[in-house]
Structure 1
């Protein structure tokens, strides 16, 4: 059994006068307290407590052992307090994972600003578009966009991510501007390979929803690659505003189907557990909440 739990059960039983009272303090059952004390006695090869249905008292061995056990627990608590005080300021290495396009356009600058605030901290930033296993791969926190799969991870919402259909003026001049989702059947649509819905898109409009299977000459696993193709006038792209927002503001892309919308995505920070959350993770997530609060930077100045 856990030696720390054994010592805690013994010391608390002595202090509180019974295993029942000790169990209430420790948040376990009286039977569990009894098992811990019995395990301790078995390991030491001696009885520490005289126990009857009415009362308990320390044996001679118990009287000798109790102050030493209490000192061990007090030293452990003091060590934990020192460690906690040392972690009040974020320090060490923070391992962060995020999507490639979002990481390049927005997360990297946020990480740099965070490091400026906390000079005792360094960040190991890994960008890719696959869903990483935070625990197995050793990440402290990851940023994820879209619907989250059920898991044991804690998720904190950072911001909304709208998805828009758009194209370059040159493409629209050659091929015309679609007015309804059904018009996209006659257009070259640029497809994101990792989309959860594949080539099928659902358009929500003033008179209900329209579901379409899109087709086009380019499929890519990079939103930035599709953006480059759209800017070159090759087709219509359906992307989050954190990718296309700058080009829309500058007029290099034109928004299409303004009366129709897609399912809104959300940006989340996810991390393994909220219990005993380290100061570096807590501070980083709080920083991102403030930096990307609605409306996030990629949405500002869009219609």
Structure 2
């Protein structure tokens, strides 16, 4: 029995809370992971996990064993990483979760560049606007847009500022006029994003402290749908510049109330907190930070987009 490998499988199952998620991360079958942990329990003469059909939890002996072996596994992983750093080519599958519209518009180019640089890494990109559970669902990295992230055990790396803009099409403004104050938004059709925390009000001010009630005939759970509706003159739109930036530059949408401060959100890369970060995760996060940066290309007209 490879005791060190069994320790690694056991500690990964304990970290992720399931054999399925651990098997995904370690690139082995669920049956082999379960069999290895069972053999480890037989070797130790104790049960390490309480197993039910709905959940997996450490026994008292399992928690004590984890506290002792985790440092051993980390030390071996770090020693191997230090020995191979700079020469070990990253490989394996890298599972990434990202918001739908951001992924469709802005990840193909950076991912193509990353794949060309690291051809042994297979990227598995899942686009979804819900907040995924990295541990439970077996993701290596999640990209998330937020003003502030709730406290968690995940590591958060800020990749880029995300600014928002109020705008409308020239046709809409010709028919309805342009609002001159926030209070006048109540007189306009506003295209609302249903997955925001409060779709019936828009946040203004540097910290989003000014809430303005809005209404209108179109609500959608996708930003690209709202952008298209705005182009067609269906109402005002208040969305991130990574969505409306091209239209603002082309004149198909016109900025409004530019003197009113708006909150700045951030694009974050989230990944599980581990002393040893897989090289493929570190390289992808660093690549995305370099591509987007403090002045992302969608906000700076003379910055080129990443090659697709």
* Corresponding position of 2:306: none
Q: CA deviation at 1:106?
A: 0.4
Could you tell me how far apart the structure 1 residues matched to 2:78 and 2:127 are?
37
**TM-score, length basis structure 1:** 0.70
Runs of 4+ residues deviating >6 angstroms: none
Unaligned runs of at least 5 residues, structure 1:
5-42, 44-72
* Corresponding position of 2:189: 188
Matched, 1:154 2:145: no
Is 2:96–2:125's contact at 8 Å kept on the other side of the alignment? yes
Q: CA deviation at 1:228?
A: 0.7
Matched, 1:85 2:84: yes
CA deviation profile, 1:96-132 (whole Å, cap 9, x unmatched): 1100000000012211111111111110000010000
* Corresponding position of 1:134: 134
Could you tell me how far apart the structure 2 residues matched to 1:280 and 1:100 are?
23
Please give the residue correspondences for 1:40-119 in structure 2 after superposition, counting only pairs within 5 Å: 81=80, 85=84, 88-119=88-119
Q: Which has the larger radius of gyration?
A: 1
Q: CA deviation at 1:80?
A: 6.3
* Corresponding position of 1:273: 273
Could you tell me how far apart the structure 2 residues matched to 1:144 and 1:118 are?
24
* Corresponding position of 1:11: none
Residue range with higher mean Cα deviation, 267-276 or 83-92: 83-92
User: Does the residue aligned with 1:132 lie in a helix, a strand or coil?
Assistant: coil
* Corresponding position of 1:227: 227
Query: CA distance change for structure 1 residues 232 and 78 in 2, over 3 Å: closer, same or farther?
Result: closer
Could you tell me how far apart the structure 2 residues matched to 1:261 and 1:212 are?
13
The root-mean-square deviation of aligned C-alpha atoms, in Å, is 2.8
Q: How many residues align?
A: 230
Q: CA deviation at 1:179?
A: 0.9
Could you tell me how far apart the structure 1 residues matched to 2:189 and 2:158 are?
34
Query: CA distance change for structure 1 residues 209 and 257 in 2, over 3 Å: closer, same or farther?
Result: farther
Could you tell me how far apart the structure 2 residues matched to 1:105 and 1:189 are?
23
Unaligned runs of at least 5 residues, structure 2:
5-43, 45-71, 303-308
Could you tell me how far apart the structure 1 residues matched to 2:228 and 2:182 are?
23
CA deviation profile, 1:193-214 (whole Å, cap 9, x unmatched): 0112332223228xx9643111
Q: CA deviation at 1:301?
A: 2.6
Is 1:164–1:261's contact at 8 Å kept on the other side of the alignment? no
